[in-house]
Amino acid sequence: MLDFQKLIDLYFSRWKWIHVFTAIVLSCICILIASSIVSKTTAAEEDRRAEYYSKISDSGRLISRWRNREDPRGFLDLADDTPLSKTFGIAWVSGSSISVRGAPEEWRIRDRPGYNLTEALAAYAKTANDQNVTLHQYLLQGARSADIRRALLHALEDPNSDLVLVPINSVWVLNDWLTFTKSSQRAENLTRKNKLLLDYRMAASVLSPLEYLLGKTEASDGLYAHRSLIAKAWGADKIKPFLVHSGAASDGNALNKWQAWFFPPSINQGYPESVKWLRGYRALMLMQDIEGAASRDIFQANIKSAADSGKPVLFYITPLPPELKDDPILMEFINTLFAAMKEDGEKYGGENTRMIIETAFDTPQPYKHRDMIHLHHGQGLVEKLIDLMEAEFGVNIERNSVESIYAPTKKKDAQE
């Protein structure tokens, strides 16, 4: 039987501090070399995403710019030789409001009940200003206000995007309780050129020092995997989602708990029967603070950065269920909220930015809500956005037929 104590005494009793230090350094070098190999392999797999999202139809391309949440690089940077210079690039920065689930048979793409509206727009917009269209999808599921900001900063800086679409989530846009989702990419916006002083203030509020330093490390070295592992080992990825003085919780699921703590009973009373199925979202919407500091600052910063970029940027309200018009308490809040947004758009925007409010209830049919902000099908919203791009920015968009996008049953119904 081995006597580990004797082995330790035999091999390590004469070690000096220089030996210990040398062993630690060599071990770290071996770990970094190994993780570097893993990083390069992983990076190659991630970069193949652009090839995977290749041709959708004759309308052009759909490229997902979103990476794994644990990849500190944040978003996919296309190679300089990517053949997109002769295409019109539309970047759609969004949370899950563009994700369609459970689409009825006549509104399915490739017979799939689940898809994203970026795919519908890529297939519907044949050309823009006589160029093929490329859709750059910045889809961050569960996105909060600061997540939208970091995606927007990337889209504004990216040379492949000629126009940017940014939906405004009426439930979360001015919610100060949770501004980031769980991700290793929260420091990514500090590497962008269109950032403002606000971004450093946010970093000081939500990032640990090590997370900040790792985020500032140049991502182009391809060695991001070991940075992620280091962040986890030292606790740099521990999420502090609430801003200073706001409390503490691990993630957004805490919302279900502190609704009962912070909401006065009147918030869950007095609503009509037609909005009962939306009461949870209704409560979240009403907890927003229109005059609050953090999220309102982020919203204004997005408008400022968009204006400074010079790119055409269209901010629009995510469509809301028409049943909300039956709720006088909620509608009073919504009208105040939208008035504040319009005021910010006029104050901080430029000739290249538009703040479109009427998409909230004026989006043409057909669309159908599965909850407050998610649609079962959204061709009406796609058509509305194309109309707005043409009217507001003078972009001439040639459209494919609607029947060519959806299932054969849609073609049959259209003929009837």
Name the E strands within 216-334: 313-317
**Residue matched to tokens 């962040």:** 231
Q: Where are the domains of the chain?
A: 52-415
Quote the CA–CA distance of 46 and 42 in Å, as a whole number: 6
On the question of pLDDT at 369 being above 80, the answer is yes
The residue type at 122: A
Mean pLDDT of the residues in the chain = 76
Q: How far apart are CA 290 and CA 284, in angstroms?
A: 13
Q: Is the pLDDT of residue 164 over 90?
A: yes
Q: What is the mean pLDDT of residues 142-150?
A: 85
Position 383 pLDDT exceeds 90:
yes
pLDDT tens digits, one per residue of 343-363: 999 999 999 999 999 899 987
Of the pLDDT bands very low, low, confident and very high (cuts 50, 70, 90), residue 240 is very low
Report pLDDT for 380: 92
| Cis status, amide bond into 366, omega within 30 of 0 | yes
Between 151 and 211, the higher pLDDT residue: 151
* Per-residue confidence band for 186, with pLDDT thresholds at 50, 70 and 90: low
CA distance 413 to 386: 24
Q: Is 142 helix (H, G, I), strand (E, B) or coil?
A: coil
What contacts 6, CB < 8 A, 6 or more positions away?
A: none
pLDDT (tens digit, 9 = 90+) per residue, 80-119? Answer: 656 566 789 999 999 999 999 889 888 998 888 999 999 9
* CA dihedral sign of residues 101, 106, 107, 108: positive
Alpha helices in 184-293 (DSSP H): 197-206, 209-216, 224-233, 255-262, 279-286
Q: What is the pLDDT of residue 303?
A: 97
Q: Are 98 and 142 in contact (CB under 8 A)?
A: no
Distance between CA 70 and CA 111 in Å, rounded?
32
- In the structure encoding, which two tokens stand for residue 10, read together? 């035999």
* Percentage of residues of the chain with pLDDT beyond 90: 32
Helix, strand, or coil (residue 35): helix
Least confident span in 43-57, 129-143, 326-340 = 43-57
Please state, in angstroms and rounded to a whole number, the distance separating the CA atoms of residues 207 and 240: 7
Q: Give start and end residues of each alpha helix (H) in 48-143.
A: 49-52, 117-124
- Structure-block tokens of residue 325: 């018009």
Q: Are 325 and 331 in contact (CB under 8 A)?
A: yes
